[in-house]
């Protein structure tokens, strides 16, 4: 009876070790995926910031042009 119990416990321990190993592998995969997503997020944020600055510059330039046109119209 003791041998059966020991064998059963050994099987349970081996299964737990395999599950821990599998979970560690999954954690590694998720950490890599998280890193890749963080890199992608940073790129997208940089891109968005650049586009926002570009849009702001365009709007500012257009506003200046409109102001100049209005000044020219007022002089005439």
**What pLDDT does 74 receive?**
84
Task: Provide the token pair at 60.
Answer: 């500012």
DSSP type of residue 11: H
The pLDDT of residue 72: 87
Mean pLDDT across the chain, nearest whole number? 95
Question: In this predicted structure, what is the pLDDT of residue 53?
Answer: 97
Domains in the chain: how many in total? Answer: 1
Beta strand ranges found along the chain (DSSP E): none
Range of the domain at 10: 1-76
For residue range 34-51, list pLDDT tens digits in order.
999 999 999 999 999 999
pLDDT > 70 in the chain, percent: 97
Q: How many CB atoms lie within 10 A of CB 17?
A: 10
Q: What is the mean predicted confidence (pLDDT) over 10-25?
A: 98
Look at residue 15 and tell me whether its pLDDT is greater than 80: yes
Burial of 74 (0-12, 13-18, 19+ CB in 10 A): exposed
Burial 33-54 (b: 16+ CB within 10 A, else e): eeeeeeeeeeeeeeeeeeeeee
């Amino acid at each position: 009876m003791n041998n059966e119990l020991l064998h059963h416990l050994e099987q349970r321990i081996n299964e737990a070790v395999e599950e821990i190993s599998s979970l560690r592998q999954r954690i590694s995969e998720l950490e890599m995926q998280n890193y890749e997503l963080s890199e992608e997020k940073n790129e997208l944020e940089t891109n968005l910031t650049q586009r926002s600055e570009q849009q702001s510059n365009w709007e500012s330039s257009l506003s200046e042009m409109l102001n100049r046109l209005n000044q020219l119209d007022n002089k005439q």
